[in-house]
Amino acid sequence: MPLTEQQITFFDIFGCVSFPGLFAREAESITQGPALLHAALNRTNIILQMTRTENGTAIIARQTIRPFLFSLCALLLSACSDPSLAPQAADETPTAATFSLRLDAETPSALRAEVIISAADMREIRFPLTIADGDIVGSIRDIPAGPGRLFTVNVYDATDHLRFTGSTRLDLAPGQSIPVSLVLDKVETPAVLRETTVELVEGVPMEMVWIEAGTFTMGSPSSEWGRNADESPRCEVTLTRGFYLGKYEVTQRQWEAVTGERPWEGREEVLDEPDYPAVYISWQDLQLFTARLNAAVGEDIYRLPTEAEWEYACRAGTQAAWSFGDDRGDLDLHVWYSENAQLLDRSHGHILGAEAISPWGLYDMHGNVWEWVQDWLGDYPGGAQTDPLGPASGTARVFRGGSFKDPPEFSRSAQRCWNAPDLSFGNIGVRLLRTR
């Protein structure tokens, strides 16, 4: 049977791309297929460039390729037994990124800048960037190639106060060199962004971020996409005391070091890795966890955040659905949730810090795994509240933030969820609070 040209769609982990190709319905008719498929392969393995503006951030240049599709075509060509047409091995030169960013005229002169590169399948890496005459420049080599590399550029003033930030996600092929140009968003943060590192046990640190006291509106407006009735009535909440909050969710390494236990071992929906979030921990387990920490330091300074403290820190001075705004097109830069987890075939929490940092210096407040808070579940009382603690009793404890198993609306700042305090799940973890 002669080959006929059809429209073949190859789905890859970042969506799909269609191109005219040839499909051999009969094995004996495949003799012409490789050359035509090779042509399709060459048309598909291109570098894409695009310009877009999302929520005030203009991405001036963005390049990517589809390495999964390229590899799939290579396998098909190999199956056709014509190695001469198969793509050659990737260039062995290091994968690199060159940065060129312009800051506005209002930027203070004393600054430092860094780029943070992260992804679900790699450890976070950081590089300083050079600032000269308002321009941020730098060339970074030896970046691990792979899909979904998140590039986040942060600019700080002389007091280490985060002033500007911008992010974009790129696919990197071995040997590829890409330009990255961003216009950074100005960040409204507390007067001073303070971080500290505490030692939970000897040799096991935890990074924490100081959250200033303040006032915010808790709950969501009736117009918010994906909202639930239990997010109202909205109320003005004043927190009179600042606190330290974990920069990341509690990791498996930290949990095991403190408790000597590994409740996630051999369970579903979890990757057993030290820098991934600790899961299969109940609210009751967490009371024992914090009690051990407090006993070690001789004072009661570790606990779970209250529901109000958690939402205040998550919102980071915003009233949008997420701390990064209302644009659902930005979700993949900031949230590990059901859709991007399924696309990458990773039905578990991911390495901490792989999504963009929040305006107040916290990672994974939206998505990855839910986070237990201290409160019993109850209706919001309405009216102005000061340092609310939630109901005095109940049957269910609250957790916040959404997870890799849940749709994007569950990761909103106002979203609430709950369960019995003695139950544990593969998508619920915790973020620790320290009072001082």
For residue 104, the Cα-to-chain-centroid distance in whole angstroms is 27
Question: Which of the residue ranges 20-29, 39-48, 299-308 has the most confident prediction, judged by mean pLDDT?
Answer: 299-308
Last residue of a domain, one of 146, 167, 186: 186
CATH number at residue 250: 3.90.1580.10
- Three-state secondary-structure class, residue 22: strand
CA 27, CA 3: separation in Å to the nearest integer? 11
Q: Cβ-count burial of 384 within 10 angstroms (0-12 exposed, 13-18 middle, 19+ buried)?
A: exposed
CATH number at residue 172: 2.60.40.10
Q: What pLDDT, on a 0 to 100 scale, did the predictor assign at position 107? A: 56
State which H helix or E strand residue 284 sits in.
Answer: helix 283-297
The contacts of residue 52 (CB under 8 Å, 6+ apart) are 58, 59, 62
pLDDT band for position 11 (50/70/90)? very low
Are 79 and 131 part of one and the same domain? no
Q: Which residue's entry shows tokens 């075509």?
A: 73
83 pLDDT above the threshold of 70: no
Q: How many residues does the chain have?
A: 436
Last residue of a domain, one of 156, 186, 216: 186
pLDDT band for position 270 (50/70/90)? very high
CA 286, CA 30: separation in Å to the nearest integer? 61
Strand partners, 397: 376, 419
In-domain check, residue 294: yes
In-domain check, residue 56: no
Are 222 and 358 part of one and the same domain? yes
Query: Nearest 5 degrees, angle CA 186-CA 97-CA 329?
Result: 50
Give the mean pLDDT of 313-336: 92
Are 336 and 359 part of one and the same domain? yes
In-domain check, residue 26: yes
What percentage of the chain reaches a pLDDT higher than 90? 48
Are 144 and 202 part of one and the same domain? no
Q: Which of 74, 72, 77, 52 is nearest to 62 (CA)?
A: 52
In-domain check, residue 362: yes
73 pLDDT above the threshold of 60: no
In-domain check, residue 173: yes
Q: Between 48 and 220, name the one with better pLDDT.
A: 220
In-domain check, residue 57: no
In-domain check, residue 59: no
Preceding peptide of 233 cis, ω within 30°: yes
249 pLDDT above the threshold of 60: yes
336-367 tens-digit pLDDT: 999 988 776 678 888 888 888 898 999 999 99
In-domain check, residue 81: yes
Give just the sign of the alpha carbon dihedral 111, 112, 117, 118.
negative
Are 144 and 283 part of one and the same domain? no
pTM: predicted TM-score of the whole model, two decimal places = 0.64
Number of domains in the chain: 3
Mean pLDDT estimate for the chain? 78
Are 224 and 131 part of one and the same domain? no
Are 417 and 322 part of one and the same domain? yes
Q: Give the number of other CB atoms < 10 A from CB of residue 58.
A: 14
Preceding peptide of 108 cis, ω within 30°: no
Number of H helices, E strands in the chain: 7, 26
Are 175 and 212 part of one and the same domain? no
Give the mean pLDDT of 315-320: 92
Q: What pLDDT, on a 0 to 100 scale, did the predictor assign at position 52? A: 27
37-46, 116-125, 254-263: the lowest-pLDDT one: 37-46
Q: What pLDDT, on a 0 to 100 scale, did the predictor assign at position 372? A: 99
Are 288 and 411 part of one and the same domain? yes
Q: Which of 54, 431, 77, 27 is nearest to 254 (CA)?
A: 431
Are 332 and 416 part of one and the same domain? yes
Are 248 and 313 part of one and the same domain? yes
331 pLDDT above the threshold of 70: yes
101-122 tens-digit pLDDT: 766 555 555 578 888 888 877 8
Last residue of a domain, one of 186, 209, 243: 186
272-290 tens-digit pLDDT: 999 999 999 999 999 999 9
Q: Which range of residues forms the domain containing residue 35?
A: 5-51+64-85
Residue pair 270/264 in contact (Cβ under 8 Å)? The answer is yes
Are 122 and 211 part of one and the same domain? no
380-426 tens-digit pLDDT: 998 999 999 999 999 999 999 999 999 999 999 999 999 999 999 99
